[in-house]
Structure 1
Amino acid sequence: MPATTLGLRFRMATAITALLIIVTVFLVGVWAFLFGLFTLFGFTPATWPATIWTIILLGVLGYVEYRQQDTIEALAGARPIGPDSEPELEQLTTRVAAQLDVPKPTIAIADRDTPEAMAVGFRPSNIHLVISSGALESLETTAELEAVVAHELAHVANRDAMVMTAVSAPVVLADGLVSRFERINDNDDKNAAFLSILTVPLGLLSLVVSFLGRCITAQLSRERERAADRAAVNVTGSPAALASALERLDDEITATPTRDLRDAAAVSSLSILSLEPDEPEKIMLGPEGQQEPSYWWLRRRLYKLFRTHPPTPERLEWLSAAERRQE
């Protein structure tokens, strides 16, 4: 097995292990908070109520994540199509799915110019391959389109939707709790002040879990994108085709108006390329707007930590090296 593949698997295993530790700590913290709350209000023994409510909380979160397909398709503005609408896309998708030994997905077209391509769904048997009209217009050859489809179906073969949904659960839950605490703090009545004092420890824990979880989840997402690139090359046998497709899509993203990219930001983490700018928006300070904020370096660093895709030049460099190895 190549050293690069071993290194990739090691980094993915390390990220998943770190996330499991964070999940365990967070769930223990949630349980401890509920245990203390039930004890405070006279529910004894508080062990079982705290355990049951922790499980219910996770169950609700799991259901919401399980139903993400409809939500994401709505955000992408996608509609499933019949086999006769895009015959070339249907044929090569069927062929690639057979090569990767996954069920053929339902194809959905998003009617917008932003170049998007993503596989959506929790189970391999119920996957929707979402491709925007902008992506179809950007890809000039059948080989490029096949490479993009192979990349997305590699995510299906690797169970990436299930893995990323599972590992993002603590982040979603922590963010939800933080937003609830913010609403409590915005309320001025006495009961709100009392609840605010009670929720400070769990609120701090949620902030820490959200930050660490986002960092590690983004790192895992980047590794899984690299793994999908490798799988796509193995299926198509052409690193150049995937490289050409990524270059065309990246050029199209660069040319897309910021407003359109902002509209597509909700599905950026799932698309084959990030739909977010390479740098965060800089708001200059000073009377004439010429002074760089002192915290700019920190914001840039955090922005890179939270990025869900490897830099496109890095992916192109790897594909170029793979092409040279083939030759």
Structure 2
Amino acid sequence: MTRTRFAADRGLGRRMVLTMFLLGLLYVAFVAVLIALGARAITVLVIAGCFLLVQYFFSDRIALFAMGGREVSPQEAPELHALIDRLCAMADMPKPRVAIAETDVPNAFATGRDQKHAVVCVTTGILRRLSPQELEGVLAHEMSHVAHRDVAVMTIASFLGIVAGLMTRFALYTGLGRSRDDRGGLPIGLIVMLVSMIVYAISFLLTRALSRYRELAADRAGALLTQRPSALASALTKISGDMSRIPTEDLRKAAPYNAFYFAPALAPGASLAALFATHPPLERRLEQLARISAQLGRP
């Protein structure tokens, strides 16, 4: 990873290693089962691998297209470019491409497999609502994702879930489900479907847990870079509060892209639902920022 001045997070590193290790064990076991099933299962692996490569190499273009983002020049958005220029100088990292999405949902996201192919996008809704200091905090959070290559990590981590999901559909909609073993036992397709569902569920929970922690790590790194955790906390509070005033239809359209966003468009309410969330609860993020403020001696 290219060195930057974003603060390293040992907790993030440990959780990444542990999660990827567990996913790796699960992956090896699942692939062994697929190989034992023969050529048809190998086809699923090849298809999933193609999805992974497309997502890895073209994540920036795909995300911008899906969310209606448009790259803007310094002449079109001078204040936004100035903030990002300042953060790049502070973090000692190359400048990402800058984009704006025309939507009133106040949010931002960063994508791209590495610093050379990164893009940071903000919505018109967030530009209207945040002060320059608050927006700088949000941008520092997003650029931390770029510095730590979070998009590439999460893309690779999600590969097993893609394979398991495709394998479940494969077992349901092909002749594999009607095939029985030599002893006349359960249909092979039923076994494959059950194993795939279990693998998908475990990999889903692991990647969601990693996603939540990487958001906390990005909050921490962004707050330490700007030395203004209170500005980031203010942005979080303001965005979360304003979400309730956005039409539900607009929030539902944005919700599928929650994993990319600075704050989820629709946040889970129940504690059990938090296990499936891409972001940690607002209270936990604010508590962490309050601790950083205390450590820095900030009000």
> Distance between the aligned counterparts of 2:268 and 2:44, measured in 1?
39
Show the counterpart of 1:318. Answer: 288
Show the counterpart of 1:288. Answer: none
- The one-letter code sitting in structure 2 at the alignment partner of 1:268 is N
Picking from 87, 92, 97, the partner of 2:88 is 97
TM-superposed CA distance for 1:261, in Å, is 0.8
Show the counterpart of 1:179. Answer: 169
* Corresponding residue SS for 2:278: coil
Picking from 49, 73, 97, the partner of 1:82 is 73
> Distance between the aligned counterparts of 1:110 and 1:264, measured in 2?
12
Q: Which runs of 5+ in 1 are unaligned?
A: 39-49, 185-190, 281-299
Matched, 1:127 2:111: no
> Distance between the aligned counterparts of 2:165 and 2:45, measured in 1?
18
Moved more, 242-251 or 172-181: 172-181
Kept in 2, the 8 Å contact 1:121–1:128? The answer is yes
- The one-letter code sitting in structure 1 at the alignment partner of 2:128 is E
* Corresponding residue SS for 2:249: helix
Deviations 1:116-169 (A, max 9, x none): 211011232111111111111121x21111111110000011010110000011
> Distance between the aligned counterparts of 1:199 and 1:250, measured in 2?
45
TM-superposed CA distance for 1:54, in Å, is 6.9
TM-superposed CA distance for 1:99, in Å, is 2.5
Kept in 2, the 8 Å contact 1:112–1:134? The answer is yes
Picking from 209, 214, 222, the partner of 2:204 is 214
> Is the radius of gyration larger for structure 1 or structure 2?
1
Picking from 130, 134, 138, the partner of 2:129 is 138
Picking from 270, 274, 286, the partner of 1:304 is 274
Show the counterpart of 1:166. Answer: 156
Kept in 2, the 8 Å contact 1:171–1:210? The answer is yes
- The one-letter code sitting in structure 2 at the alignment partner of 1:306 is F
Seen in structure 2, the aligned counterparts of structure 1 residues 101 and 55 have a Cα distance that, compared at 3 Å, is farther
Matched, 1:27 2:43: no
> Distance between the aligned counterparts of 1:101 and 1:152, measured in 2?
15
Kept in 1, the 8 Å contact 2:48–2:162? The answer is no
> Distance between the aligned counterparts of 1:98 and 1:207, measured in 2?
46
Deviations 1:60-103 (A, max 9, x none): 13223222332222221111111111101101112212332332
Matched ranges for 1:245-256 at <5 A: 245-256=235-246
RMSD in angstroms over aligned alpha carbons?
2.3
Show the counterpart of 2:266. Answer: 276
